[in-house]
Amino acid sequence: MTDSRPLQGESPVAQLDVTISACEDGAFQKRGHRARILSPEEAEKLAREQVLVSDFKQQKLEKEAQKNWDLFYKRNSTNFFKDRHWTTREFEELKACREFEDQKLTILEAGCGVGNCLFPLLEEDLNIFAYACDFSPRAVEYVKQNPLYDAQRCKAFQCDLTKDDILENVPSDSVDVVTLIFVLSAVHPEKMHLVLHNLYKVLKPGKCVLFRDYGLYDHAMLRFKSANKLGENFYVRQDGTRSYFFTNDFLAELFLSVGFEQVVNEYVLRETVNKKEGLAVPRVFLQSKFRKPQRET
């Protein structure tokens, strides 16, 4: 089943080179290599709002990044994010990378939060062992306190992937799949490559990082005011947590600079309806797969 209607503000040209599919929630999503096209009103709004947060406040936000995420989890406990049961549907590598059906799979969830992706995976697939790390010590404690946490199947640990050496907790070249889902956007763009260097060290040659995060011109980006702008496509929320909105070109350059190979790197455009306000909300994500090259023999 397909839907040829453009998203709000999207030009017909932007519909080229896309795959359209229905989602479980009744919405439709498009995948392709073209970014969402802004409406004239949206473009004017972004052009107006160019005032950046002061350097002093930006430095303070960087220093307090861990504290702000810890406070986020203190306020919201485990109740903010929904469990992500769509992961195996969107990323077939979680099953396809096996050479035989019951093969044990070792995964690393980088930025596990309170386990909204981790625990559905462990429930669905009994042949997974998962490493799970997060910037926030409080989030890691919530993971360990979850009734589904089993030290025989999971190792959760606190880690700042921009400066800590992940090899202290995960062996080199030992992981079949790394998931990096709505995590890299919270990192300062100048430090994102440090995260990817860490992930590269533990991934087996020939295996992939599975990436999903906010894309350019997502509805969340358009809601920010200029008082919240940190830099190009980079914003701060009222609680001090930050969010970057990716283009596929920026992401590809980032991964390739670390040594990864691109497998898939595309926008996912969804139009969800806010029934309470009667508004169509354009969501834009980037969904990608980058592979660590096989070693030369």
Place of tokens 């080199």: 172
Q: What is the pLDDT of residue 91?
A: 55
Do the domain assignments include residue 11? Answer: no
Structural domain count of the chain: 1
12 falls within a domain: no
User: How far apart, in whole angstroms, are the C-alpha atoms of residue 164 and residue 233?
Assistant: 26
pLDDT at 89: 55
**Could you tell me the maximum CA-CA distance found in the chain, to the nearest angstrom?**
59
List the pLDDT tens digit at each of the 297 positions of the chain. Answer: 223 223 323 332 233 344 444 444 445 567 777 888 888 988 888 888 888 999 999 999 998 888 877 887 777 655 544 544 445 555 566 666 666 667 788 999 999 888 888 888 888 888 889 999 999 988 899 999 999 999 999 999 999 999 999 999 999 999 999 999 999 999 999 999 999 999 999 999 999 999 999 999 999 999 898 789 999 999 999 888 899 999 999 999 999 999 999 999 999 998 877 677 777 788 999 999 999 999 754
Query: Could you tell me if residue 59 is inside a domain?
Result: yes
DSSP codes joined into one string, 141-162: HHHHHSTT--TTTEEEEE--TT
Q: φ, ψ for residue 89 (rounded to 5)? A: -70, -40
Note down the domain range covering 126: 19-292
CATH number at residue 106: 3.40.50.150
**Per-residue pLDDT tens over the stretch 38-80:** 889 888 888 888 889 999 999 999 988 888 778 877 776 555 4
Whether residue 9 lies inside any domain: the answer is no
Q: Is residue 69 part of a domain?
A: yes
- Specify if 217 maps to a domain: yes
**297 assigned to some structural domain:** no
Contact 192, 254 (CB under 8 A): yes
Assess if residue 56 is contained within a domain. Answer: yes
